[in-house]
Amino acid sequence: MTLPINRRLFIKKSSKITLGICTAFHMYLPVVPDEIVQKNEIIDERKYLNEILYTQQEVDAWLAGKAFPFSKYHSEFGWLLNNAFFKDGIDNSISAYTYEGEDGERILSNYSEKLCRINTYGDSFTQCHQVSDHETWQEVLAAHIQEPIRNFGIGGWSVYQAYLRMLKEEKRKPAKYIIFNIYEDDHKRNLDAWRNIRVRKHPQHIEAPLPHVKVNLKENNIIECKNPCPTPESLYNLCDLDEAYKIFKDDFVLKIMVAHKNSKMKNTNQSYSNLMELIKTHGIITNIDNSETISEKTESFHTKAAIFSTKKIIEKIEEYAKQHNKKVLYVLSFSGKSIAKYINEKTRFDNEIIDFMRRINLFYVDLMEEHTKDFLQYRLDIKDYINKYFIGHYNPRGNFFCAYAIKDKMIEILDPKPFPYR
């Protein structure tokens, strides 16, 4: 175990995407490194990559477990999590994180001696970052239904990474029922070959390359891609511009970010050219009104491709479940900021996902709607309502809310019913 690390400041300052401690990714344009924003300078892929490379010392320290304590390298998935104590909990308390098993599922507590028939997959909202081992929504729900629930969530993961882990773990520790949690930024994460292209570096976690998908909307397909740095030695390619350029020069997200960069720097012709290349390559039709909307159009394109990728991955999950006689309950999770925006404005970015799930008759729980219904039970300012449940991720009360929002749908599909409902 490592010593307690104060991550409250890190949580507040970290980028909107990293580790699931996010603001709504659809509400803001991507963060770009200030050091490369010089007006009228044309930014290309090499210049962009040159500003985000890691140093050899940083990679050395991460692989040796001497720095970046949140995670550890994994050749297939990109990273897993370390046992740790982090000072990131409610009231600035220390949270205990314990992982066991081959790929580090979070430790079971309630009814661990019983046969487990529910596995859960997803990112940090599945892992339950910012609460201790026995305060997760899985443990709350397990205590209520009187049977164990495994937690295979990993902070910062995409829908695609969670899907890959599901394929692996269901061979090792199979369960009849799967809860598959999808957080709002997980859609874009599907497309990340190297997360550091899209988010800034930070002191707790190296954003290692990871398995991802490429999309072509015109041809209605995705291509599955393995981790581009599949060995510890290959991580050092992130320290060398020529090697990094060789790996990522044609990367979809890199081209998105370069288009944003040139738009921010008022390089209208260049950003327009970047966007047209994306459109041509990935088969999407869009209209561009003027130079001021290029970055917005690029962001819209990015979101559309991301949502498309999640729908195709869900199709793969459903195909797998059908072949192996499993049932899947999908849980849609969101940041406090996105929930507040929806309650105030009744607008959301992911209607296409909701429509898709309804159309193909999936079992799902939409925590955006669950929180909206709950909010109406109180006479609270929206800020006070969000603070009731969130400290970045869910606090213990938020995990309790999540467990009971899931409960009815979970009991509906369980056969036989859990003991308290027989």
Domains of the chain: 5-421 (3.40.50.1110)
Residue 270 scores a pLDDT above 80: no
Bridge partner list, 5: 86
- What rounded mean pLDDT belongs to the chain? 88
Q: Which residue has the higher pLDDT, 203 or 234?
A: 234
Please compute the mean of the pLDDT values over residues 190-212 and round it to a whole number.
93
Please compute the mean of the pLDDT values over residues 33-48 and round it to a whole number.
70
Residue 326 scores a pLDDT above 70: yes
Query: How much is the pLDDT for 278?
Result: 65
Please compute the mean of the pLDDT values over residues 287-315 and round it to a whole number.
82
Query: How much is the pLDDT for 146?
Result: 98
Please compute the mean of the pLDDT values over residues 213-241 and round it to a whole number.
96
Beta-carbon contacts of 163 under 8 Å, excluding residues fewer than 6 positions away, are 121, 313, 316, 317
For residues 154, 155, 159, 162, the Cα torsion angle rounded to the nearest 10 degrees is: -10
Kind and range of the H or E run holding 170: helix 159-172
Residue 9 scores a pLDDT above 70: no
Residue 29 scores a pLDDT above 50: no
pLDDT band at 217 (very low <50, low <70, confident <90, very high): confident
pLDDT band at 158 (very low <50, low <70, confident <90, very high): very high
Pick from 173-177, 244-248, 262-266, 275-279: least confident: 275-279
Query: How much is the pLDDT for 275?
Result: 63
- Per 3-state DSSP, the chain is made up of helix, strand and coil in percentages (nearest 5) of 45, 15, 40
Residue 224 CB coordination number (10 Å): 14
Query: How much is the pLDDT for 47?
Result: 95
Please compute the mean of the pLDDT values over residues 202-228 and round it to a whole number.
93
Radius of gyration of the chain (CA): 21
Helix (H, G, I), strand (E, B) or coil at 138: helix
Query: How much is the pLDDT for 18?
Result: 37
Please compute the mean of the pLDDT values over residues 69-90 and round it to a whole number.
96
DSSP code of 233? G
Per-residue pLDDT reduced to its tens digit, 347-365: 999 999 999 999 999 999 9
E strands, 60-164, in order: 71-74, 78-81, 84-87, 95-97, 99-100, 105-106, 118-121, 150-151
